[in-house]
Amino acid sequence: MKKRNESIPSLKEQYRANKWLFFIYAFLRLSVVGILIAQVLNRDYLNVALCALTLVLFFIPSFIERRIKVDIPDVLEVTVLLFIYAAEILGEIREYYVNVPHWDTMLHTVTGFLCAAIGIALIDLLNRSDKVSLSLSPLFVAIFAFCFSMTIGIVWEFFEFGMDKYAGMDMQKDTYITRITSVSLHPDGRNIPVELDIDSVVINGEEWPGYLDVGLRDTMKDLFVNFIGATVFSVIGYFYIKNRGQGRFAKLFIPRKKE
């Protein structure tokens, strides 16, 4: 019990270690608890579950630091906390995904950026480890980080598709299309694309402003901005590894092994 208490810093120790990080933690947690209480009173138990999940996710950075002995930079930790809050509380419960333009796009861009940072950290920790005989070139590390980030993005899109198909959700947001190009529209069945303007679509007697794309464009947009975020940090990580960890900006986002 004594070892467990020593491994978990008290509130005073957290406050003394980093005051602004402590206040951000406190504000976000109190905000989520307040929203959770409101959702309980509204009997919206799905949102209650989202609030509970958010509170659990808030503990992941400190859990990783204690159990894996990895030092997570404060900037990365704050970014992760704000990302979780923006995705679960603002995006889902406050409906920013619908009401705020490009909210989902912004989050997917940040995801690509952060996942590339994690990919850089994974290889960098192995390169610096005395127990593992591994020394990879900066270019290989950057390529790995990029591929790692894109893989996470693709797996997430698989998850969104599965939730839409089997749980009746709409995570892959739909888009109205007023023009399509398809070889299926060619009157002779040839492999020549034909453009068609969609003036009106009537479904069950109701007129729609266009053809409703079922998530394809949203998925490709998410992967594209993930690609941008992954590319940006992979380039940053390349110079970070090449200069033996001297990059100031990269250090703000790359976890390091505790001494």
User: How many angstroms separate the CA atoms of 48 and 39, rounded?
Assistant: 6
Residue-wise pLDDT tens digits, 126-153: 777 666 656 778 899 999 999 999 999 9
pLDDT classification of 4: cutoffs 50, 70, 90: very low
- Taking alpha carbons only, the member of 228, 252, 248 closest to residue 110 is 228
Residues 152, 73, single domain; the answer is no
**Section 35-57 average pLDDT:** 96
Q: Is the pLDDT of residue 110 over 50?
A: yes
The range of the structural domain enclosing residue 187 comes to 175-212
Residues 20, 43, single domain; the answer is yes
β-pairing, 211-213 with 206-208?
unpaired
Residues 19, 32, single domain; the answer is yes
Q: Does pTM surpass 0.85?
A: yes
pLDDT classification of 2: cutoffs 50, 70, 90: very low
Last residue of a domain, one of 66, 100, 134: 100
The domain total for the chain is 3
Residues 123, 182, single domain; the answer is no
Last residue of a domain, one of 53, 77, 100: 100
In the chain, what's the furthest Cα-to-Cα distance?
Answer: 80
pLDDT classification of 67: cutoffs 50, 70, 90: confident
